[in-house]
């Protein structure tokens, strides 16, 4: 949305977003090293979603910058960040690319993680209003907030609503 300047050129309005987060390479037995030779003998789990920034896009960029082709790496594709953590914990892979969560501290050493990017912007929601439809905007925020509060992971509960003077969504839902 930012690259295309969609807010200005196409009339999209940002209504909510998740906070920024850090992407990491996380290993089970050692601190990962961001060198070409280091990755050649490692089994690496990536997310099987090419749109995932922390689980796919950023690590693939790192490998490309290091001159590594994906075909030369031993990559295991997982369906979720949770599945990648399970593969790492069981020793089926040596490294995963993911975000760090509080629950990880019980399973993995913070010394065996390496940040691989600047903080990643969280997902955002936009709405395109051809007319000033304040009821639709407020109802959309209300629905997003309800879905957010029903999530099990704290990160997904931390939805930030963009304040609009005519919407009183946050006070209504969270009180």
User: pLDDT tens digits, the chain, 175 residues: what are they?
Assistant: 666 666 666 778 899 999 999 999 999 999 999 999 999 999 999 999 888 889 999 999 999 999 999 998 999 999 999 999 999 999 999 999 999 988 899 999 999 999 998 888 888 999 987 777 888 889 999 999 999 988 877 788 889 999 987 787 754 444 3
Same domain, 91 and 68: yes
pTM (two decimals): 0.77
Q: What are 91's two structure tokens?
A: 């020793």
Residues 15 and 70 in one domain: no
Q: Closest by alpha carbon to 157, among 28, 14, 18, 33? A: 18
pLDDT at 5: 67
Measured at the CA of 102, the angle between CA 97 and CA 103, to 5 degrees, comes to: 85
Co-location of 157 and 129 in the same domain = yes
d(CA 140, CA 142): 5
What's residue 133's pLDDT?
81
Collect all residues with Cβ–Cβ distance below 8 Å to 60 and sequence separation of at least 6: 46, 70
Q: Which residues contact 159 (CB under 8 A, 6 or more apart)?
A: 16, 17, 18, 144, 145, 148
Instruction: Please indicate, yes or no, if residue 101 is contained in any of the structural domains.
Output: yes
Tokens for 73, please give them. 């790496």
Q: Are residues 128 and 74 in the same domain?
A: no
Number of domains in the chain: 2
Structural domain for 158, as ranges: 6-19+123-174
In a domain, 32, yes or no: yes
């Amino acid at each position: 949305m930012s690259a295309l300047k969609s807010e200005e050129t196409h009339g999209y309005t940002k209504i909510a977003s998740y906070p920024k987060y850090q992407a990491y390479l996380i290993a089970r037995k050692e601190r990962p090293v961001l060198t070409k030779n280091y990755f050649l003998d490692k089994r690496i789990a990536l997310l099987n979603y090419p749109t995932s920034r922390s689980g796919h896009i950023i690590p693939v960029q790192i490998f490309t910058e290091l001159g590594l082709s994906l075909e030369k790496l031993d990559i295991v594709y997982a369906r979720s960040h949770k599945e990648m953590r399970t593969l790492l914990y069981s020793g089926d892979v040596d490294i995963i690319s993911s975000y760090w969560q509080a629950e990880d501290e019980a399973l993995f050493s913070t010394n065996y993680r390496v940040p691989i990017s600047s903080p990643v912007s969280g997902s955002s929601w936009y709405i395109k209003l051809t007319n000033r439809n304040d009821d639709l905007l407020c109802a959309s925020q209300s629905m997003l907030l309800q879905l957010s509060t029903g999530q099990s992971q704290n990160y997904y509960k931390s939805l930030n609503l963009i304040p609009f003077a005519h919407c009183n969504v946050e006070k209504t839902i969270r009180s």
